[in-house]
Amino acid sequence: MAKPSHEFRVNELRERLLRAGVAPRHVRRYLTELRDHLADLTAEEERAGRSRADAESAALVRLGGMDDLAKAMIEQRQFQSWSVRAPWAMFGIAPLFLLAGAYFVACFILWSGWKMFLPGTDTPFGSRMSPIAIYSIENIYFQTGRMIYFTAPILVGWGVDLLAIRQRLKAVWPAVGLVLIAWMGATARIQASRTAVPGGLGHIRMNFFTLGLSGQAISDGLLYALVIFSLTALPWLIWRLQRAHSVST
């Protein structure tokens, strides 16, 4: 069954507003208000004696043209999303802070598990002197932190993708965010040892953004960064392909 003509206008207006940088929440509210206003105008025209089809057509004319409806929102800066107002912050700084927060949680789990389950060891990463059973509570606790550590770059990157998709953004700023996430994730290193990290917070230290000194370390780091970038960019690439296909058909 074909959709009413005004639904096509609503979808077109939604896309135009999102591409112009209007925040999705303001777009939803504005379209809801327009639908309600259109229904009121249609009912008013029907009470004047018009048929349903004629009433809808007259109501659309009274509602205004697409350019005017879009302009009413686009020209008001307070309705612009922060990803358009300050893309450098939303895609350059915020993802790194989120990733750092996830790494802090992983480090806290490592430190607290070390204190609770391996208090006499030099390092919480396990040794022949202090093996940990696979299905023990200790191992589950440590593996939770490990999972957060390894999945954090992917999840933060997918968050960047979601933001870019919702706002219909071009590739530049999302790509910047994904590159930074991949770089930070590939170079994140945790050291935890009472002897090797005497000055660290809780004998735990974490480093970022350095690939190492040897050629092997640099190549491994670059390869890992490429893997992270590819995985994080995948949802955005799929969306772009689907969008291009829908336009062509």
Write out pLDDT tens, residues 87-114: 999 999 999 999 999 999 999 999 999 9
One domain, residues 65 and 106: no
Give the pLDDT band of residue 179 (cuts 50, 70, 90): very high
One domain, residues 164 and 49: no
One domain, residues 142 and 178: yes
Domain limits for position 72: 5-79
Domain count, the chain: 2
Q: Is the pLDDT of residue 56 over 70?
A: yes
Give φ, ψ of 206 to 5 degrees: -130, 135
One domain, residues 197 and 238: yes
**Distances, alpha carbon 123 to alpha carbons 71, 115, 202, in Å:** 61, 10, 11
**What is this structure's pTM?**
0.80
State the Cα–Cα distance between residues 106 and 187, nearest whole angstrom: 16
One domain, residues 32 and 111: no
Q: Is the pLDDT of residue 181 over 80?
A: yes
Mean pLDDT in residue range 219-237: 94
DSSP at 192 = E
Task: Return the percent helix, strand and coil in the chain, to nearest 5.
Answer: 70, 5, 25
